[in-house]
Amino acid sequence: MATSVQQLPAQPLSEDEKESLLYMVEEKLARDAYNRLAEMYPDVPVFANIARSEQQHVDSVMQLIEKYGLDVELGPPGVFHNQELQSLYNELVDRGSKSLEEALKVGALIEEKDIVDLEEWLAKTDNEDIKLVYENLMHGSFNHLCAFTRTMKSMLGVDYKPVLLDEETYNSIISSCQMGGPKR
């Protein structure tokens, strides 16, 4: 994907696109939360595995930020410029520390939030390179949501109930994973 993004021409950034890039780079919330949960639950590889994938997501958005010459400095793990995201991170890590079930629910909820956020930003974006990255991030979030819910079911026998996505959208994502991969 890196080559494709670099091959697409830079287009003028709208304020919404600029705002979206600065918000989405703090997708590091997912990476940071999963790394923290991986420390708490070292015998459950889904957290560390998805944290590595989330690093690739952060890197993809950083490529766009650099391409467009935006000035952003990421904070250390667990520290966010956006105070809403800071509060969310703190709340979710605290919640995930209570039990493995809660930690897996936190993972699924983070992916739901990413999907909702990406859908909103995609609706406000017309730059092809940003769309390409966001669509790839969305595909990753579908896979991650499936991984968390599958782990919850196989390890704990618990069915996840979506919080932010409507049942139809959630079921479509989950059933597409069972059919060989999310396609939306």
The tens digit of pLDDT for each residue in 8-43 reads 888 889 999 999 999 999 889 999 999 999 999 999
- Is it the case that residue 167 has pLDDT exceeding 60? yes
Alpha-carbon distance 131 to 122, whole Å?
A: 6
Give 8: exposed, middle or buried? Use CB within 10 Å, 0-12, 13-18, 19+. Answer: middle
Ordered by start, the domain boundaries in the chain are 13-178
Nearest 5°: the CA angle 157, 107, 78 is: 145
Q: State which H helix or E strand residue 46 sits in.
A: helix 46-67
Q: For domain 13-178, give the CATH number.
A: 1.20.1260.10
Residue 25 DSSP class: G
Question: What is the model's pLDDT at position 184?
Answer: 40
Cβ–Cβ under 8 Å, residues 142 and 178: no
pLDDT-above-90 percentage for the chain: 84
